Amino acid sequence: MFTGIVECIGSTPLPLSSTPTAIVKLTTPSTAISALDPSPETGTTLTISTPTFLLSDAHLGDSIAINGTCLTITAFTPSTFTVGVSPETLRRTNLGRLSASSPVNLERAVAASGMRMGGHFVQGHVDTVATIADVRDDGEARVIRLKPREKGVLRYVVEKG
């Protein structure tokens, strides 16, 4: 969960790389996108160089917003972090279209009682069951379509996020 208040603004110092397994890690002090890496083994990843305060309480699996897009930290150092980016995220956001000097907004998940709250609030009760109607690959991601037993619950389902 995020407040929408940007903590850091950076820029892309280099054009994004489309070379498999090539992640360029910058050591500049400013927040900056380093590279997109469409590696066949890991899928597309985005590595970002940032001031150390942004990662001072980071953990693997934490949520972080990049240009308003909630992504999951898959690796980090004191001054860089990496997130996975699915083909659907690249289609629905501007992350795949960033170029040199593009501004980048960064925001950590909201903290409550000293612990960051990544993800989404979930009620934790079951309203129906569903069967798997279709499974298809989408790059390194997998799209699973579900068919609920009671179709009326679909009015409560949010398409994204």
Query: Per residue of the chain (161 residues), what is the pLDDT tens digit?
Result: 777 778 886 545 444 443 332 233 322 234 445 555 555 555 777 777 777 888 888 999 999 888 888 889 999 988 788 888 888 888 888 888 776 566 778 888 887 776 666 666 655 566 788 899 999 998 878 889 999 988 998 888 877 75
Residue whose tokens read 């659907």: 88
Residues 38 and 149: their CA atoms lie apart, in Å, by 38
Residues 118 and 65: their CA atoms lie apart, in Å, by 10
Long-range contacts of 38-41 (CB under 8 A, 24+ apart): 40/140
pTM over 0.75: no
DSSP 3-state of 87: helix
- DSSP secondary structure letter of residue 18: -
